[in-house]
Structures are given as C-alpha cells and as structure tokens.
Structure 1
Amino acid sequence: MTELNDLTPKRAAVLVASQSVADAELVGKLLQDEFHNVRLSTKPDFAVEDFEQHRPSVLVLAFDTLEAAQRYYIGLYRLSTVVHETRHRVVVLCNKHDVWTVYDLCSLGHFDDYVLFWPATNDAPRIRMSVHQALRIMTAQEQAGDVTPRAAPIGVSAPKPPHPAPAETAPDAAAAEAAARAAKPAPGVPQAQPAAAQTAPGVAPQRLAVLIVEDDGFQQKLIGRLMNGLDIDVLFADTGARALEQMWEHKPDLVLMDVGLPDTNGVEATRKIKSIGQFGHVPILMVTGHSERNIVVESLKAGAADFLVKPFDKNTLHEKLRQFLPALATS
C-alpha cells in the first residue's frame, strides 16, 4: 500500500539532485526559506540511497544539462527498489536552449514541470512556486483518492514480478514473447554478439535496429530508402537529446550519427552516448559531408567506430552495416 506523505511546505520532503555541490546548495538555499525539509544529493554513487532515504514528494533536478538530468532520473528507475512506488513530482531546471525539448518531455510525462534557471537565476521565486504547485497538485489528487505513484519515465518499463508462475498451457505467441523478453540484456550489461541461429525453436530472432541521427528531413528519407531490402528496423532522431531518448527507449544495435545537429554536434552526442555503460558496445558511424582530420580525430576520441562520407550509395552503406552488424551478412 502506498504511504501518504505530509504535503505541507513545512514537512513535505524535497530533494535537490545535482552533480555540482555549489548548484545544489544554491537551489537548496532558495527553497529552504519556505520548505523546511529540503535535502541535497550530489554524489552519483549515493543517488539511489539518497532518494530511498529521503523519499521526496518533490524531486528538483538541478543539473547543468538536460541530458544529465535524464540520465540521473532514468538511473533511479533502473536501480532503485522504491522509486516505482514513491509518489513524487519532478521539477527540472533548464537553460534557454533546452526549453522546447524539456517542454516536450513534460508533455509526455517524463517530467512534471520545468523552470528556466540557467545560467542566470533571473526568476528565482519561480522555482519555489513550482514546488508549491507540485505539492498542491499532489494534495488535490490525494483528496480525490488518487494515490497512484507517477508513471516511469520514457524508455523505462514498470517492474515485473521476479518469478512469475508459468501457465500450464501457455499459447505459442505468449511463449515467443516471453523468450524475446528474456533475451533482452539486463540494464548496464553489454549485449553479447549473437551467435548463429541461437534461438529457441519456433521463436523468430529479434530484428536489428539502426538509429539515424540527422536533422535534415530529406537526408533522413534518403538514408532510409538506401536501407530498403535489409531486415532492419529504422529509427530517427533529429537532435542529440532525442537521440539519447531513442537509445534508452529502443536500444538500437547501431547508430548513424550526423556531425551537425541543431542542439549539439555529433561528436559531443557520441561522447554522451558512449559515456553510458549500457551503450558502450553500440557502434556509432559518423555521417559527414567532409573528412577534415580534426573531425576524424575528435570523433574517434569520442568513441566513433567508423565514418560514412556523403554522398554515399546503397552498396557502400550496406557494406558498412554488414561490417558492424555481422547478423546481416547471413540475412
């Protein structure tokens, strides 16, 4: 049964999470005049422990980038045993470049509210009001009898029973689905390269997925058409932030990364993806219209596996894909 919290400003638990002690202390001071139960969480190794000990009604993400805030929050859902059952609302602090992205994330329910905060705190009272509003909404929900914990963020499934009882006569479709789920790698564990034909009898092998990170719609369609004829699911992202969302949500087997993106550059987006242990094994091929030495060097340092220089044809693309996706060679 869900435990109800005291949602008054004097007692409501508020947790400020950040990778910067200075930033967390700044936000904490802005809140402590009106909220008397504010705690800070600034050490990544203790992020889950801090959340589980404090059980916040309002979680304030005071990270310097939106990507860092997403990694932290998704990490809680993947590692904590109590976050799924803890009623809370999430306020994320952002900069002006991320406003529309974080707006979309809030619309989808990934976060609950955002405050334009970095780099200057021109509207410091706004963060206090956001916490007040979060507590009022939770109070109204409680009075209406709605004490359901918030849904998991995008790309994270709700926890399943550890040992579900097998049905005595499970239909073939259910058995196939269960086998496919079991074949998924555990969070944080690199996915092993598939051995030839190691699938259960009657179970179709899981389709490969390739993520195309490209902001130009025409180029997206062009590359997508060049991949016709391959047994591959094609995903698209037009920004670095959306690419990271797609990585968490779909776990693609390979990424085609454009160098120029509207919110970042492909090198930095590659670096961020490769910094997440779960995606360290995923090959990233840089797609560029030029091959200057500095771009090549920086991309390789960031973790890129290879390059595709535009314009390229269907045969060149298929050859590259088969090189990094051995399962295609036999398809």
Structure 2
Amino acid sequence: MPSTPAQRCSVLVLADTTHDARGAVEPLRIDRVDLRVCPDPEGFVAAGDAFAADLVVLALRSLSRCREVLQLLYGGERAGRRGRQRVLLLVDKDTVREAFELCREGVADDYVQHWPIPLDGYRLRMSVHAWLRGVAAVRAAHGAPPGAAEAPTVATAAAAAAPAAAAPQRVPQVLLVDDDPFQYKLTRMMLADCGVRLVWRDRAASALQQLGDDPPQLVLMDIDMPQLDGIQAVRELRRLPGLGQLPVIMLTSHSDRERVVQSLQVGASGFVVKPFSKKMLLDVMAKHLKLPGLDASGPPTPATPAPHLP
C-alpha cells in the first residue's frame, strides 16, 4: 500500500443502491480521506456545490446516466471545477468500452470494473492514491497548509472582485494526440501520480478543436496518424492565436528521425522515442512543464506494482 498524502482529501460518491455504495466506499476507507455518499443525483450535485471534493466516484449501472449527472455537476458556472477534480467510474464488463470512450472524451478520468465480479479494491485504491498524491503536491506547491480544503465555489460580487491569485489552482492539463488506444492506456498509467489531468484525442483534427476550446499546458503529439499527421498538426497549431509558445512533444519511432527534424522545423518543442519508459517521458515533459506530482529530485519511485488496466 502506498503512503497516503499528508493533506486530508475528500471523495464524493454517487451510487444506484446502498449495496453499490457500500462496494464503492469500503475500499476507500483510507486514513485521511473524507467520504460523502449521496443517494440521488440532485443531492449529489448539491453536495458538489457545498463539499470541495478532490475525487468524484460514480457507481451507476448506466453510463448514459453518468454522463447526464456529470453535465449537471459541471454545467454553467461550475465548469471550472472539472479541472480540479478527478472523475472515476465504476463499470461492469459490458460497459468497459463505453467507459473508455468517456475517458477518451475527457468526461471521466479513469474506470474500474465493479460488476458482476467483486470490485477490484486494489486497483481502485491505487487509482485514488495516485490522484490524491498529485492533489497533495499541487497544494503544497502553492502554499496550502496541511489539511486545507478548497472553499466551495459561490458566485457573489465579492468573489468576482477578488484577485485572481485567490482562485483555486487548476490541475495542469496534458493533451495526448495518438491514434493508438494502447498508447493512451500506457501514458495514462505513467502520468497517474504526477498531478496532471490527461486528455486523449485519437485524431489531430479533433485535437486542434480541443486546443481552441480548452488549451492544455502541454501536448504529446504522435507523428504518424491517419488523415492529418503530427507534423501537419503542429504546423496548424502554431497558426492558432495564443498557442505560439505551447510546448508540443512529439512521439516517434526509431525510423522517424527525418520526420522528427521536420517536426522541429515546424515548431515542435522536443520528442521522445517509442517505446519509452516513464522516466524518459517525465524527463522530457519536465523541461517544459512543472509537474506538481514530482519533487526536485525527479520522478518518484513507485512503492507498488502498476495497476492492471483492463
């Protein structure tokens, strides 16, 4: 079991039944983790306004219902909350592919199989711990005292007039553009405890739209992709307003050296060769992005094996 974060963190749970809630909550009874369980979506959204949760867990049998609840939770003026919270889905074996798509779209961050087999409590705890370590690191980096919790968002004139420095720190967002789902799974696992939110797009065209709507702090761009390849995508990216300095790391194979040079010529910031290790990826990313989940000594050494990804 990995060490728990020094700060107290909070988890908000919505489940279809008391049995499902118990199955979701029992593995999360971890020291210094505050739990709040809601029996209905209305209470869940209300609790989201009053309870500054670090992690949101949905144990709902219907993933379309999950999507609806999350739209309510992060709709309108609540949208800024999404970047500060991790969304975890508990799913059954028949909805794993749909859950994967929700993660690919950025609606959720991770999923763990719950039904019909007993919940994989080990993987659930690993996913929770990885995120909470990142949350603790973000708070520590910005001077939040141990045990501090974010105040709930309240739309008032006084809040609007408050200085920007008082706003809650948003978790850095990393955009992965790669047409290989397996590469997404590997990258998600590598970055799980680094205090960043990973968003995946499997086509460069949709990634360029993502950049305009919600700019990340760093982009990981595969070179070889159908329709619009990584080099063309970087060329288009550099033409977008305000993105001239956005770090773009190219993902390439050993045979792509000439294309790496081409990508650097059109504005890429660096590259990493596939297959790459976690340390290789973090070393390149750290040159362009401060990773809150890492200290000055470099990448953390995992205390436990990496969780299995279905």
Question: Structure 2-normalised TM-score?
Answer: 0.42
User: Relative contact order: is structure 1 or structure 2 higher (C-alpha 8 Å, sep ≥ 6)?
Assistant: 2
Q: Which of structures 1 and 2 has the bigger CA Rg? A: 1
